[in-house]
Structure 1
Amino acid sequence: MQCLIWFALAIIMLRMIRDLDMTLIRTFVTTADKASMTAAANALHLTQGAVSQQVKRLEEVLGQSLFERDRRGLRLTRSGERLLDKARRLLRLNDEILAEIRGGAVAGRVRVGVPYDLVGTLLAPVLKAYAEAYPQVEISLVCASSPELAAALAAGTIDLAVIEERVGPSPGECLLIDRLVWVGARGGAARLKRPLPVSIVADTCAFRPAVLSALAEHGLDWRTVFENGNIDATTATVRSDLAVTTWLASTVPADLDILSDAGLPALPNFSVNLHLPKHATQPAAQAFAGHIREGLSRYRQAA
């Protein structure tokens, strides 16, 4: 009898809950993005059990199942799909309010790691908005390849990093997924040459293993034109029709072509992930992370 009374009280309390816990919402969104509770736990610096309990708690509050499991991992139910967009908006508003209210108190220095190809494209508006919102914060920008940025974050020489990785399990928080595409000069002939002239920003480029693997599987001979870590020089070799390269579709300059009909092998999708240190994150870095989430969320909605 006592167990039944406690169960009834629990049901009554759940029905009385009118406010959503942002912690539960953030865990839900991260789990949906990762399609894995283990990956979500890594991104949120929680145990898998804690993530599972938080998802269960949210399902109890809403009275709906949000996930179901298939062979590829977790999949959103129809209720989960309905919630996801609204949950993202809730988190954006929550982070925006916190950033504005705390803005006057945030000062110091934040060291941000960004890949070469993103700093002048997707992240340019984010950098501008952050600098305007937090004029007392000194921003130090570190541009390098994604593997180099991951190493710098682990070594503690940067405070957070935006890293490009093949879609799949990652300790980072997925901000968006984009196509990796072949890029060449408009109306150019480099795409037709054999061996294929390829220009890659650096030999540590995150795209390089995927590109070389695709060329090998396709049986396509290639040669290196440029690999020294300069995005401007890489762009120049492509504009001059000396070579082709690979970029995320969202970062391709308007005057260059995405090559979809040149007999080149298909390339995998890549995710743009936010990586934070395993130790405590300073307020300036937390605020910057919020700006990145909001900025790329707006990009996803506009795309």
Structure 2
Amino acid sequence: MTRNLDLDLIRTFVAVADSGSMTVAANLLHMTQGAVSQQVRRLEDVLDCLLFVRRARKLELSNQGEQFLAKARQLLRLNDEIWADMTAQHLHGSLRVGVPYDLVTPLAPAMKAFAEAHPHVEISLVCATSPELNEAVNNGRVDLSLVEYVASGAEGEVIRIEPLVWVKGRGSDAWQKRPLPLSMVDERCAFRPVVLGALADEGIAWRTVFESGNIEATAATVRAGLAVTAWLESTVPADLETLGAKAAGLPALPSFAICLRLPATVLPAAQEFARHVRETLSGKATGTRSRLAKIA
């Protein structure tokens, strides 16, 4: 017998999974907490499995819930794309897009293509660190966002995975100094705890040369040979160099996932913008290795 899933239940499930809270999900969906809880229970009854377990004060996905989440996202995305294609409505209104500082330039082609295709949508760009943007999606302050996570802990839709690399200025020996001079974009940057944790594990002392929300200012200190930094490989400017961690005596850094985070209820404009993001960013960065000088 053919059975159909209730997309409203699935949308509620995804909202709870993303926020880790019935209360937050209720606010995002404009529902009561009781209604959200009831919908989750109904979905669990239909699927005949437990989707969430409570640990301390936070809800976490069960093993079956984790397996279901990826397919639930695919189902919702396909549903939203079908609606957008079949209704063929002219998009209008405003769209708040979140993006980490280092991904503004890579996101530019998607913004340009979307703006040309939908001139009646007013785009507002919200630049912040990944932890801040993750919270902004959960609280409804942005309509969609790119967020960087350590690959093993990625949330949302993974657009691309690439390595986090050490970066220095041309001819600079800053990487040899101890304590190691570091220049990081922001103290809340997603890279910072990973970088500092890796240095601590290797017993390498470090000092902060500069911290700012301005990525160009950070790049300037690296170009001047005052410090090293850590960036995603594809975002390293052509006039800077990446360091082979092993040869430089620095700890290896993990790969990061560039993820697309959307709220459970997605605006048509956000769904269309997400499509442009997938088309421009989902492929592996090309030409990066050839244009970057590396110290082997």
Same fold (TM over 0.5): yes
Corresponding position: 1:108 with 2:90: no
Distance 1:232 1:155 in 2: 29
Number of aligned residue pairs: 235
Please name the residue that 2:180 is paired with: 196
Instruction: After superposing the two structures, state which structure 1 stretch, 285-294 or 212-221, moved more.
Output: 285-294
CA distance in 2, matches of 1:296, 1:290: 10
Is the Cα contact below 8 Å between 1:126 and 1:295 reproduced in 2? yes
Amino acid at match of 1:268: P
Q: Offset of 1:258 from its aligned partner?
A: 0.6
How far does the alpha carbon of each residue in 1:43-75 deviate from its partner, in whole angstroms, 9 at most, with x for none? 7x996898999xxxxxxxxxxxxxxxxxxx98x
- Residues 104 and 134, structure 1, Cα contact 8 Å, conserved in 2: no
Q: Is the 8 A contact 1:99 1:290 kept in 2?
A: no
Assess if the C-alpha contact under 8 Å between 1:200 and 1:226 holds in 2: yes
Partner secondary structure for residue 248 of structure 2: coil
Unaligned runs of 5+ in 1: 1-5, 11-37, 54-72, 75-87
Match of 1:264 in 2: 250
Within 5 Å, give how 1:1-303 maps onto structure 2.
Answer: 42=17, 105-120=90-105, 122-260=106-244, 261-278=247-264, 280-299=265-284
TM score, norm. by length of structure 2: 0.68
CA shift, 1:191, in A, is 1.2
Q: In terms of Rg, which structure is larger?
A: 1
**Alpha-carbon distance change, 158 to 195 in structure 1, aligned in 2, over 3 angstroms:** same
Q: Which runs of 5+ in 2 are unaligned?
A: 3-12, 19-24, 26-39, 50-65, 68-73, 289-296
Task: Note the C-alpha offset of 1:169.
Answer: 4.0
SS at match of 2:124: strand
CA distance in 1, matches of 2:87, 2:183: 44
AA at the equivalent of 1:110 = L
